[in-house]
Amino acid sequence: MVDSNQSPNNGEEIKAQTRDNSSNDLNNSNVESLKLQLQEEQLKNQQLTSTLLATQQKLSQLETEFEQRLEAQLDQKIFELELCYDLSRQIGSTLSYEDLFRSMLKYLHTVVPCDVTGGILLEPKICELFLNANRPLATTAQLEIQQRLVESMLKVNGLDLLNLPLCLHNLNYQIQSSSELQIQQIGSHFFVPIIAHFPEEKQIVGLLFVGTEKAKQFTEEHIRILYKIANQASTYVQQLQMLLQEEKNRLENKRIRQALAKEKEFNELKTRIVRTISHEYRTPLTIISLAVDLLESQEGKLSLEQKEACFHKIRTATEHMTNLVEDVLVVDQVESKEVIFAPSHINLFQLCQQLVNNFRVTPAQKHQILFDYQGEQENIYLDENIVRQILTHLLSNAVKYSTDGGLINLNVKGSCDQVILQVCDRGIGIPPEDRSSLFECFHRATNVGTLPGTGLGLAIVKKYVEIHQGEICFESELNVGTIFTITLPIVNC
């Protein structure tokens, strides 16, 4: 039996229990929802973490790539700067377009992959073409490059180059082996202009050229480098033009100064010639005049011996004046480079013997000339006239300045390579203060006194020795004597 008094409470309990059950179900549902949300958040966090890690890895990779690219660019820039520096150092002081382009074209081979580099430069009276290849160029390939350079220069400059002479320079190629293949054609090429910046205008004065045997696409970096080198080439060309012009002006000024100095020297020489001739002619002319007056005024009173003595004085004075004129003419011919060097095969022994015999029959009986010859005698290749003049002047001086007579030696040594001529006297010698000027025109030693002479003999000897490309030296001691030694090379044996 059911207790009616407890029924309401049971209903309430049931309701409360129902509410608790509903609340528990709701709580359980919320927990599950929260778990799901938490799982979703954890998944999102995992995804974000993965994305962040991937992003960090990507950033690290990009940073590494950027650093590598930057390092590569810096290395390239440093490499280019070093090459530019080396190039500037190599051509900084050059005075040759060939050396300039040799360095630039070699530089082009270093920074741009190619088989051939070239350049063309327009000068006022000539067009210069430069080529540098890493293998031998076939004639067809060379003509192809030459034609392309000339045509391109004609297009960009507008000048007619056909009438200008073309000078071709093949630079820096050395064949390594005979089997090395030639470059037969040009598959790809590229030109860049060399622009000179003048005060009035800019002008294209040349082109740089790179080419490959096989078709190839040049990159923007290659083209950039080519233009950079072309800009450098413009600077170098203008600097070289300025240096060449300065050098030309310097040489021209030097030539003018030398011409003025030579003119001054000639004027001084003429003055000395006139002074010397006037002085040297006075004595023989006086002798001739006195001898002629004596012959005229005393014609019937002079004996045959006296007349012969007058005639001898006239002949001697006339011979002295003739020799003076001949010496002056020889000096003028040598100074004007009119003396012709004409060697031939001669018998040197016979020539020297003849000269010695000529001196032995002169009135200077108190001198004894000893002649000694060693070595080759015939077919000695020398200029006979020059050797004759040299020995004549040296023997004349030896006789003239050996006032007390005595022994004079002429020693000759002949060989296939050279001839040595030596004249030794026992005369008055040469003072030390006169030795440095001994071979100057019109110079006479301070101890010659009243001995006749013009001061031209040794100057003529020196100039003749130089024409024969020989050497002359001497040893001297006052009041003991002098030895002159001449060495003449034999140019052909």
| Whole-angstrom distance, CA of residue 210 vs CA of residue 107 | 11
Dihedral over Cα of 197, 199, 201, 204: its sign: negative
Q: Is the domain defined by 341-489 classed in CATH 3.30.565.10? A: yes
Cβ(182)–Cβ(136) under 8 Å? yes
What are the structure tokens assigned to 65, written together?
A: 């790539």
| Whole-angstrom distance, CA of residue 115 vs CA of residue 135 | 7
DSSP state of 433: G
DSSP state of 211: E
Non-local CB neighbours of 277 within 8 Å, separated by 6+ positions: 324, 325, 328
Task: Identify residue 208 by its one-letter amino acid code.
Answer: L
State the greatest distance between any 2 C-alpha atoms of the chain, in Å, as a whole number: 222
What are the structure tokens assigned to 398, written together?
A: 């030896």
User: Domain residues of the chain, as ranges?
Assistant: 91-255, 341-489
Low-confidence ranges of the chain (pLDDT < 50): 1-2, 175, 178, 364
- Taken as a whole, the chain contains a residue count of 493
Q: Give φ, ψ of 345 to 5 degrees.
A: -75, 120
What pLDDT digit, counting tens, does each position of 185-230 carry?
A: 888 888 888 888 777 777 888 888 898 988 887 888 888 888 888 8
Cβ(122)–Cβ(166) under 8 Å? no
Please determine whether the domains at 91-255 and 341-489 fall in the same fold group of CATH: no
Cβ(485)–Cβ(421) under 8 Å? yes
- Dihedral-angle region of residue 193 (phi above 0 means left; psi in -120 to 50 means alpha; beta otherwise): beta
State residue 19's pLDDT score. 64
Q: What CATH topology corresponds to 91-255?
A: Beta-Lactamase (3.30.450)
Nearest-CA neighbor of 334 among 422, 461, 192? 461
State residue 417's pLDDT score. 86
**Tally of CB atoms within 10 A around 460:** 23
State residue 291's pLDDT score. 82
Cβ(335)–Cβ(265) under 8 Å? no
What pLDDT digit, counting tens, does each position of 12-56 carry?
A: 666 666 666 666 666 677 777 877 888 888 888 888 888 888 888
Q: How far is CA 46 from CA 42, 43, 61, in A?
A: 6, 5, 22
State residue 1's pLDDT score. 44
User: Beta strand 202-212 with 188-197: parallel, antiparallel or unpaired?
Assistant: antiparallel
DSSP state of 341: -
What pLDDT digit, counting tens, does each position of 284-326 carry?
A: 788 888 888 888 887 778 888 888 888 888 887 887 788 777 7
State residue 64's pLDDT score. 86
